Chain A
């Protein structure tokens, strides 16, 4: 069992204490042993991973300087293009799609010496909070395989939590990194909007999407985020804000965190809330000032999100037309071009994706645009204003649970979209406001004899990843869970 962090592996490989080849081999063996029960991976790149690892070992032997992720096995959510293997976004629409290019984030990962082990499962086009909306079957939670890992980056979270890999990439549009990180007992960060290039990320909702890391420690997330962040001319929303080595963060001095009243009011799982309160007490003992704050419009975040995200999705997913790439429906003789579009899209997209395209189309359509879309955009401004006021009032970060409760059973929320959407209660605000947010393991609750993790989430000011990661480190220390591996 690999218990080393990504940081420790990279140090070991650079120092020659272990070879990248043996680290990669061990990771592949763990995937072979454990993924049958979890289905975290959609594709594993055994030959490519071993060849890449051998190349790192050769470069070390030749005396070349190795990168900060030298030899670290990484899993990548399958909505990021890699010029190798398939890129499906969890959809029948892209079932046979092989990208001719690689995402900037993946090029940067590999440039830093990381070894991509494979592509991980996700809710189709990242639309979901349980990984059950994957066209290729669900992923299971490594703490209890009868439960979901969360979503949409559920495959990446399960791969890390089960110890198959120490590090993974996910993407987060409304909580898709933080929610599965919370339900799988690991750390996951959504960076500031514009921090990480989306070039090569399959678009869902472009004013919300961000790529970010998942790992078992805050330090590993920091290490990876420093590698993948930074300006990219290929993404028009990419920022020129300076990037630091966030893994070198020192312990901050006085820390003030604000706990919004709505979090308490919305808490509907007493056990999970008790874990959160226990964490607050530990933080107070550690000298952190915990303040009550208001986020007056947080209650309206899900409503705004489920207008804005589907609206953008309906536009982004218009590209899947059966003409240029991806699936095309088989058509009877005499079928029209319109038949080609409508049948390809009805066949290629799953139910949840079609539902969101329909919703988005409706709220953008003539006569409804002002009432729904414009109203949501105004609400979005108020939600951002609430966070800004908290930071201006002296809070270093806003602290709340990552999810209302622990991982739920497979199938439990599938029939009720609104129940599934409620999973995003605490997470969508950071996306709407474009702020960096991180989920850190807070503790465990008991359900049917199983120990299930729950997470706590910190939201920080824009471009404040360094400070946010330092506060997250204090939270990690206060929770004192020791980065356990599920099923170990």
Chain B
């Protein structure tokens, strides 16, 4: 857990596997809604750990006072400039209704549907598992 603590305070150490555990992989897979079998825990630990170990080089940089840049601006340049080449706000358009996908066309793409409903496994009551 020492590695994890260090990561929380800032990326300032270098380790080839970034100290991920199999429980970490289970936690990440659960958050990502990916079924990951036990036989995949070690391969994922090694692969993700290698990448995380590599990106820890960002810890070499002095980022004091640097504003994060979430996007390059682009079309949002018409919005409020943050004075640093990015933009502080998204483009705001008039709220005008436009053409939309017809309901039956959208429902027709579903793997299982009884229009106007999408069908999924039972969620509530007996047998509901979500």
Contact = CB atoms under 8 A, between A and B. Distances in A.
Interface string A414-434: 000110010000000000111
Nearest to B73: A434
B22 interface: no
Interface string A284-310: 000000000000010110111011000
A357 interface: yes
B61 A328 contact: no
Given A237-B74, A304-B58, A367 B34 contact: no
Given A100-B109, A306-B51, A193 B28 contact: no
Interface string B87-130: 00011010000100100011011111000001011110001111
B32 A314 contact: yes
Interface in B26-77: 27-29, 31-36, 44, 47-48, 50-52, 54-61, 63, 66-77
Contacts of B105: 100
B28 A362 contact: yes
Contact of B110 (A98, A192, A323): A323
A115 to B, nearest CB: 26
A342 interface: yes
Interface in A92-111: 97-98, 100-101
A361 B28 contact: yes
A307 B69 CA distance: 13
Interface of B: 4, 7-11, 24-25, 27-29, 31-36, 44, 47-48, 50-52, 54-61, 63, 66-78, 84-86, 90-91, 93, 98, 101, 105-106, 108-112, 118, 120-123, 127-130
Interface of A: 97-98, 100-101, 192-195, 206-207, 231, 233, 235-241, 297, 299-300, 302-304, 306-307, 314, 318, 321-328, 331, 334-343, 345-346, 349, 354-355, 357-359, 361-362, 365, 367-368, 370-372, 374-382, 384-385, 388, 417-418, 421, 432-435, 462
